[in-house]
Each structure stands twice: as C-alpha cells, then as structure tokens.
Chains A and B, each alone.
Chain A
Amino acid sequence: MSEPAPRIDPTSPADGETTPAPLTRGRRIDLFRAIPGLGWLAKRRSFQFWVVLPNLFLFLLFLTAGIAGTPVGNRNIIIVFVWILWWFLLISLLVPFVSRIWCTVCPFPFFGEWAQRRALIKVRAVAPKDRKSGPGVVIGRNRYFGLNLKWPKRLSNIWIQNIGFLFLCTFAALFLTRPIVSVVVLGSLFVIATTLHLIYRQRAFCSYVCPVSGFLSLYSMSSTVEVRAKDAGVCDKCKDKGCLAGSEKGWGCPWYVYPSKLDRNNYCGLCMECVKTCPSDNITVNARPFCSDRLLKGWDEAWKAFIMLSLALAYSVTFLGPWGFIKDWANVAEKQDWAGFATYTAILWATALVIVPGIYAAAVGLGRFIVRKVPGAALPFKDVFLGFVYPLVPLGLLTWIAFSLPLILVNGSYIAMVISDPFGFGWDLFGTANMHWTPVVPEWTPYIQVVLLLGGLFFALRVGFAHATRLYRETRVALRAFLPVGCLLGVFVGSLIFLYAA
C-alpha cells in the first residue's frame, strides 16, 4: 500500500513549489534483449504494413457484412467480432499488457497515411540539398504530401476525444446491436481519419480526434510495456534526432513524441519508427510493473477518467442490469421513446461531465481542508486533484474488464456461429453455424467481477497513496489528505459490487 515516505523537509520550498519525487519506478526488462528476434522484427520497414494489412481486410469484410449481411446483430460478424470479441480483447488483454498495440495494427489511418507518405513501406528521405525542391512538404528529413497543416494549438488536447466518445456511447444500444449502425460509426471514423490525414500533419486524427485513442491513451498508462530510450544521456548528446526528424531508415515520429522525454505511454502509438530511426540503437520496448506511469497532466485527461468510469457504471446498469425500461430508453430507434432517451442522455452526460467530477472534486477539497493547517500542505488544487484522479486509471480499467467479462462469457458462442456464417446467409463453412447458444460459466460471473473490482480498489488505493506521499511527503498528512478520496473509491466499488452481486 505504501512506499517509504520522506518526512516533510523544513527546508523544502514553500506552497506549490515542492519538487515532486519521480513517479515512474520499478524494474524494467528490455524485451528486445529478452525475446530473440523481437528487435529485428520491429526494425523491419514492412513490420507495420504486414500487421495492418490483415486487419484492414477483416475490417472491410466486417463493413461488407454490416451492409449486405443479416440485420440480426448476434448473427452478423461485424457485431460479434467487433463489439464482443475485439472489445473484450482490447480492454482485458491488449491495453493492460501491450499498451497501445491496437494503434500499431489499426486500419483507420491506413489510406490517410498512405496518401500522406505516398508510400506503404519505403521511406521518403530528403537530402539537405533537396529540401527546397521536389513535390510535397519536407518535415524534418522526410517528404510528405497533402496539406500538412499544423493541428490548432487550442485543440491540442483530448477534449474532442472525450466529447466524441461520450457522444458515440450515448448511442451504444444502437451500434452494439445493429450491423448497419456499426457500419455508419466505423465507416465514418475511417473517412474522418483519411480526410484529416490529407489536411493535417502526421497522426493528428489519432492524437486528437479518434474516440478509441482517447481511452487507449488513458488506460495505456497502466500497461505492462512501454517504448523508452535505453539511456537518456545518449539522447541528450544526440545531434541527429532521427526519432523526431526521420531518416532514410524511417519516418519522424508520427505522433510527435520525443522518445528521450517520453515518460508516459499516453501518446505513443507503438509504431516502432523511432526504433528504426535511432542512430544509436537507443530505443527499446520494456516490460514493467502494472501502473508504472502515474501522472495525469491536464483537466482533459482527468475528465477522460471520469467519463470512462461513468460509462462503465452506466453500461453496467443499462446492459447488465435487469431493468427493461432503461434498455427501452437507450433503444430509441426501436421503442421511439424520445422522452426516455432524452432522460437517459441527460443522466449519462450529467453523470460523466458534472456529477462524478463534482463529487470527486468535493472529496479532494475535503482532503485539502483536513490538512490545511499542516505547514507546507497547502498545495494547489489542480496538483492534488490530478494526482488523486489517477487512481481512477487502474480502477476504471478493472471496472471495464468486470463489465466486459460477462459479454464474452455469455455471448462468446456466437463467435463460433458467425465464423461459419459471417453474413447470416445460412452458410455453414465449418459446421458451427447452427450450434446452440451456450454461455460459459455464467454463474461464476459475479464472483469474478467482485475479484476484479477488489483488485481495482487495491491498485487505486495503492497509487492514490503513492500520489499523496509524493505531494505531502509525510505519511500521516498524506493519509489524511487522501482519506476522503479513498473512502469515495470504496463507496464506488461497493456500489458496483451491489449492482453485480446483490
């Protein structure tokens, strides 16, 4: 629960000027050294192309099935593979264990990036003498095509992703169950991604717009892998900066991340370009402990945590609860209950944007109030707030896993059915199309959910206390300041346990 906490140093700076202890800690294992061939693979120019290509074909197959196949969601591959299988794998395995690996294989930016680079595999490197000649725009040492505008500074945050994700999720009952609505949602994202690649530089869509990228960035902080510089000193002395500027071996970082200063997973899409371009072979992939990145850096990231937690709660009530009337509210296209849908939407948005953040802010404020008379403990609200919101990262992730688990246990047998009949045309390619719907140990679900939620609470309290000791330095003060937030986390987990097990 706790780490050795230094006592308050009487010579430490005044209020708000404390020098935070480093938050990234724990052991690292260089996976390029530990797993033979992994580094070699990551340095292949064609690496990303070959991992995206099959995904792109699958994506196009899903879109085709959504348009031409049966409208019955649980018999159409787009619904079963995307919202049951992909979602479960993404939130339960990929994000916790392989960070943003989905961004490595994501097909959304495929055509846009191709248009930007006019290359699928090779690199367009530019010699210094040719910078002002030739077509396209030269950025760093690479040549790009399209408008290549800079993304507006005011929008350089994840608010668009926050609001976009909340907006999409308001209609979850529609796109989770109707193939054609899924086609509209996924197809729109594909078109938007391609369009933005033609207008803005590099991966502006992924960094600032993609609603999936928003929660991947948040929860990848907890992941057990990271891309980092092996030795920051080597980067400091490096004049080449191939990781940013690109080289004949690879493109400059499409996410505009400088690996030497990379201390969080949030905005690294694991494209491996920096591994290829580093002239000193100083970039690697590390294995690390769960929840090693521990710093939220802005209100947008904090609100992402609130939105994700609120959605997990709302979906648990709507989709895992027994209340048919709430499903009717969400299912507006079929039930036509517009007043109910307005109520559902208002509750969802108010909970995610105002109520949960408001309650949380009150708990943080109470903690600050409790320790207000301790010398040196009057820290800026934002510092304490962002530190104490971080526990919602592990808690939110495990809450989402607890929500997603019954979906795969109960509906997993549909996967075998649609593999044999992906369009719902009556095919039986592998003899599994007509098997009976068979839930897998559904009676164990509440027990597994309780274990996951208790695990989430454990990690939340652990990292919350680590933040409290970082901020307040003295154990007793840190505990008192964190007490209201800790209790609030307990109440939240207790409420979810009540929902799942009562």
Chain B
Amino acid sequence: MRVRATRVLLAVAVLGAFGTAGFVLAPAVEAPKERSFTVRAHRYGYEPERMRVNRGDRVRLKLESKDVVHGFFLEGHDLDATIVPLRAAVEFRRPSRPGVREEVAEVNFTAEHEGKFRYRCSQTCGFLHPFMQGELVVGPNRLLPVALALVLGMLVAGFFLARFPARRA
C-alpha cells in the first residue's frame, strides 16, 4: 500500500514538473499590436484558414464572402456577423444581446484571452455548413506546450515509476 501511494505521489510530482515546465517554457507574449486581416468566406472554409495574434492585440477584420451569405461567429468573443456577397458592410451582433444588430465595415475586438478559438459559419450556407470553420490562435496559447509536456511526463512517469515496486521488492 505504501509503495502504491508513493508511486502515485511520484507520478503526480513528475506530471506537475512537466506541466509547469511546459507552462514556463511557452513563448513570451510580445507587446500588443494592431493587426488587420481580410477574411474571405466561401463554401466551406475561410481564407485565411488560421489567424495568429497575441493576447492584448487589437484585431480588425474585414469580412467578405466569395459566394453565398455566410456567418462569422467567433468562439469566446461574443461576436457574430453576417456576410453578404458584394456588400462592403456586414451585419454585426453580439450573441449576449439578442435583437441588437448594426451594420459595420469592420469587426474590431481585442484578443483578451489566450488559446485557440474557432470562427464558424452561423448562416446555413450549404450541406457542409456545420463544419465550415477557421481558427484564431491567440498566443502564447499555453495549453499546447503544457499538454504536450504532460504527454511526455506521462510516458516518463509510466516507464520509470512502473519499475519502482520491483526495485522496492
């Protein structure tokens, strides 16, 4: 029983050490900047398919559609827009305030939270509409290095600590 408890504690310590290392070694955040993107929606994707910014950046998006009416719902940012082909302005709404809509030329927001956020089409646009999406990655996105470090930590803990009872025996 003592061996088992010790092994569990050691495993937790190893995982904690790897996780902490992944968190600490994540790339540092640069000073906030203003970033502009032109996002073109089409059945069933966006160009660019992935945007990378840093936490604190001010992001300006000009949204266009290449074919039919599309949406631009950005996860975690209370932001949804309807993009009509051949129109410069988009209809903008905040999902937290239903019923309030406005026409805007650009969608602006500050990337306040790090991580990966998908932007998805919110207007039924065709068969694969539910899978139409792009990705906004807000650095330093520490989930990735922490998770990968935990994978490594799990392998290390597994392979080294599995021998522990045998040695004690």
Mask of A438-482 contacts with B, CB within 8 angstroms, 1/0: 110011011100100110011001100100000000011001000
Given the known inter-chain contacts A457-B154, A497-B151, A502-B137, please indicate yes or no for A483 contacting B159, CB distance below 8 A: yes
Q: How many residues on chain A are close to B (CB under 8 Å)?
A: 57
Please tell me which stretch of A68-76, A219-227, A244-252, A371-379 contacts chain B, meaning at least 4 of its Cβ atoms lie within 8 angstroms of it.
Answer: A68-76
Counting CB contacts under 8 A, is A282 at the interface? no
Given the known inter-chain contacts A1-B158, A5-B166, please indicate yes or no for A497 contacting B147, CB distance below 8 A: yes
Please tell me which stretch of A129-137, A209-217, A485-493 contacts chain B, meaning at least 4 of its Cβ atoms lie within 8 angstroms of it.
Answer: A485-493
Cβ distance A91 to chain B, nearest Cβ, rounded Å: 18
Q: Is B45's CB under 8 angstroms from A461's CB?
A: no
Q: Is A479's CB under 8 angstroms from B159's CB?
A: yes
Q: How far is the CA of A106 from the CA of B91 in the complex (A)?
A: 46
Q: Is B165's CB under 8 angstroms from A177's CB?
A: no
Q: How far is the CA of A73 from the CA of B155 in the complex (A)?
A: 43
Q: Is B118's CB under 8 angstroms from A442's CB?
A: yes
Q: How far is the CA of A40 from the CA of B76 in the complex (A)?
A: 49
| Residues of B contacting A324 in the complex (Cβ-Cβ under 8 angstroms) | 42-46, 49, 132
Mask of A60-94 contacts with B, CB within 8 angstroms, 1/0: 00000000000011110000000000000000000
Cβ distance A352 to chain B, nearest Cβ, rounded Å: 21
| Residues of A contacting B141 in the complex (Cβ-Cβ under 8 angstroms) | 501-502
Q: How far is the CA of A500 from the CA of B120 in the complex (A)?
A: 15
Please tell me which stretch of B24-32, B56-64, B103-111, B123-131 contacts chain A, meaning at least 4 of its Cβ atoms lie within 8 angstroms of it.
Answer: B123-131
| Residues of A contacting B75 in the complex (Cβ-Cβ under 8 angstroms) | 439, 442-443, 445
Q: Is B151's CB under 8 angstroms from A454's CB?
A: yes
Q: How far is the CA of A322 from the CA of B43 in the complex (A)?
A: 12
Looking at chain B's contact residues, the main secondary structure is mixed
Counting CB contacts under 8 A, is A98 at the interface? no
Counting CB contacts under 8 A, is A430 at the interface? no
Q: Is A1's CB under 8 angstroms from B124's CB?
A: no
Mask of B19-58 contacts with A, CB within 8 angstroms, 1/0: 0000000000000000000000011111001100000000
| Residues of A contacting B134 in the complex (Cβ-Cβ under 8 angstroms) | 322
Given the known inter-chain contacts A327-B45, A461-B158, please indicate yes or no for A446 contacting B115, CB distance below 8 A: yes
CB < 8 Å neighbour of B130 from A177, A333, A438: A177
CB < 8 Å neighbour of A490 from B44, B98, B129, B151: B151
Going nearest first, the 5 A-B pairs with the smallest beta carbon separation are A324-B45, A443-B76, A322-B49, A2-B162, A177-B127
Q: List A residues at the B interface (Cβ < 8 Å).
A: 1-2, 4-5, 72-75, 173, 177-178, 318-320, 322-325, 327-328, 331, 333-334, 407, 410-411, 436-439, 442-443, 445-447, 450, 453-454, 457-458, 461-462, 465, 475-476, 479, 483, 486-487, 490, 493-494, 497-498, 500-502
A-B pairs with beta carbons under 8 Å apart, 5 shown? A1-B11, A322-B134, A461-B154, A465-B162, A475-B166
Please give 13 more A-B residue pairs, beta carbons under 8 A apart, in addition to A493-B151, A500-B116.
A2-B165, A173-B127, A178-B127, A318-B131, A320-B133, A324-B46, A325-B45, A437-B122, A443-B76, A450-B143, A462-B158, A475-B166, A479-B159
Q: List B residues at the A interface (Cβ < 8 Å).
A: 7, 11, 42-46, 49-50, 73, 75-76, 95, 98, 113, 115-118, 120, 122, 124, 126-135, 137, 141, 143-144, 147-148, 150-152, 154-155, 157-159, 161-163, 165-166
